[in-house]
Amino acid sequence: MAHKSKRKGTSELPEYRINVFCNLYGDSIRNQILCYFLECYGSDEPLASVIELTKISKPAVYKQVALLVEQDIIVPTRKFRNMQLYTLNKNNSSVILLKKQFDEALNSEIKKYISDNNSSVESVVKELAKEEKLSKIQLKRLATTVLNAL
């Protein structure tokens, strides 16, 4: 059997790297780190948890965070045990803008998911209505119970 070889640049992203922020601004190490801090907006976070969840190498994260601190986007807050905690700079205008867009993107994504699920119920009803002679209300009840059970 012939083995399908994947080209390096064309392979799909791993699941842990797919998020709303990177869909907007593109997938990069900087955006992954920014996304993590936007999710934890208002609280200070250690870089160890960024490394654990994003699965980016330690030196790459430290390098990018140093640049972000230089640009005044991320601010070091306090030390806990042997960890330095960082948070987003709320006074920075670009951070405020990013947070606004991030929230809007999140809400629209969830609305889209909910509407898609509702539309799937409607499509099942339409398909059943073509073949059966049941009323649409009865079919809708049936479809919702079936989909909930799944």
* Smallest separation, CB 75 to other proteins (Å): 16
The residue (of 73 and 86) whose beta carbon lies closer to other proteins is: 86
* Strand (E) or helix (H) holding 78: strand 74-80
Classified as helix, coil or strand, 32 is helix
Q: Among residues 81, 41, 40, which one has the least CA distance to residue 49?
A: 40
Listing DSSP states for 27-78 in one string gives --HHHHHHHHHHHTTTS-EEHHHHHHHH---HHHHHHHHHHHHHTTSEEEEE
Q: Which is nearer to other proteins, 15 or 131 (CB)?
A: 15
Nearer to other proteins, 16 or 62 (CB): 16
Tokens of 88: 């987003």
- The CB-of-87 to other proteins minimum distance in angstroms stands at 11
Closer CB to other proteins, residue 4 or residue 81? Answer: 81
Binding residues for other proteins (CB under 8 A):
15-16, 18-21, 35-36, 38-40, 42-46, 48-49, 52-53, 80, 83, 85, 102, 106-107, 109-111, 113-114, 117
Rounded to a whole number of angstroms, the minimum distance from the CB of residue 138 to other proteins is: 23
